[in-house]
């Protein structure tokens, strides 16, 4: 499909007519160029990029979704919502929506080209619990990695909860890395427990997921830079769970992250 057709399916929430092709590195590179072309169309119509999402950082679900590495995409002013612990997200035009509990970082600086974990820590301003609402325009969530990349890295919406300055909870990269790696979450739909997860599920810790993303971003021709003020959500701690309008979901994160609840309309 052309970039205009990809964007039209995003806007109307209708599935794609057919699956994509193989999962070669060449196909993934081409898929990123298609995604960047869609990004330009969204810029042209007035949408504003607010940062990035990192997908498939949870190695535990790779086999289930037929992927072998993380992917990334853009978060927009039209897809990003902040709250202080409880929020609402509309599912209109979201295709086969699923929910993912994640850690979100807010950047205060652009990390240098050869950034270490210490450099990444220095570049972060805040962190927060988040719910990313992901989608797939292929039936049954059956796709290859290039399809997922072309599909906006499956990003639909991002709800960000209460933000906390990282320097209020950790004094170094090593401390933040270890803290988030052992932080747990319980995901619920209403009062029913659905799944449990831990920060180490995402490439060993959300900080390491952010570091990996930076390296991948800079290897992609034509990709935008990671900028001060950008929001980056670092990948799901559990499997992605189907959601529907009328449901209320919550994530009970361990400290230093705070609980987060979302109502779907």
Residues 80-114 pLDDT 10s: 999 999 999 999 999 999 999 999 999 999 998 88
DSSP 100-158: EEEEEEEESSPPPTT--HHHHHHHEEEEEEEEEEE--SSGGG---HHHHHHTGGGEEEE
Task: Indicate the pairing of strand 80-82 with strand 155-160.
Answer: parallel
Which residues pair with residue 253 across a beta bridge? Answer: 185
Q: Are 104 and 160 in contact (CB under 8 A)?
A: yes
Q: Are 151 and 1 in contact (CB under 8 A)?
A: no
Mean pLDDT of all residues belonging to the chain: 95
pLDDT band at 26 (very low <50, low <70, confident <90, very high): low
For residue 28, report the phi and psi dihedrals to the nearest 5 degrees: -65, -45
Of 238, 259, 254, 256, residue with least CA distance to 98: 238
Per-residue pLDDT at 68: 87
Structural tokens at position 231:
């929001």
Q: Are 127 and 161 in contact (CB under 8 A)?
A: no
Burial of 205 (0-12, 13-18, 19+ CB in 10 A): buried
Which residues pair with residue 233 across a beta bridge? Answer: 53, 104
Interacting residues of 105 by C-beta distance below 8 A, sequence separation 6+: 124, 126, 127, 166, 206, 210, 231, 232, 233, 234
Distance CA 19, CA 247 (A): 30
Termini Cα distance of the chain: 30
Per-residue pLDDT at 175: 98
Domains of the chain (ranges, CATH numbers): 3-264 (3.90.850.10)
Checking if the pLDDT of 198 tops 90, the result is yes
């Amino acid at each position: 499909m052309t970039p205009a057709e990809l964007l039209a399916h995003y806007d109307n929430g209708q599935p794609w007519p057919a699956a994509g092709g193989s999962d070669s590195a060449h196909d993934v590179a081409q898929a990123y160029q298609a995604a960047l072309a869609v990004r330009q169309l969204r810029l042209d119509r007035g949408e504003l990029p607010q940062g990035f999402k990192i997908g498939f950082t949870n190695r535990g679900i790779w086999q289930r979704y037929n992927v072998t590495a993380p992917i990334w995409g853009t978060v927009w002013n039209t897809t990003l919502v902040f709250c202080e612990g409880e929020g609402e997200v509309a599912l209109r035009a979201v295709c086969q929506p699923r929910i993912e509990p994640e850690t979100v970082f807010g950047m205060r600086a652009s990390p240098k080209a050869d950034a270490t974990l210490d450099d990444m820590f220095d570049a972060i301003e805040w962190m927060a619990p988040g719910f990313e609402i992901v989608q797939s325009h292929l039936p049954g969530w059956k796709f290859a990695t290039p399809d997922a990349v072309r599909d906006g890295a499956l990003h639909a919406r991002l709800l960000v909860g209460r933000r906390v300055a990282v320097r209020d909870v950790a004094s170094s990269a090593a401390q933040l890395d270890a803290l988030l790696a052992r932080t747990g979450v319980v995901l619920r739909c209403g009062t029913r427990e659905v799944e449990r997860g831990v920060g180490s599920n995402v490439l060993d810790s959300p900080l390491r997921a952010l570091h990996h993303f930076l390296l991948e971003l800079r290897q992609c021709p034509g990709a935008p830079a990671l900028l001060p003020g950008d929001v980056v959500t670092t990948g799901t701690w559990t499997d992605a769970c189907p959601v529907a309008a009328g449901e209320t979901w919550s994530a009970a994160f361990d400290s230093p992250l705070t609980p987060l609840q979302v109502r779907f309309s």
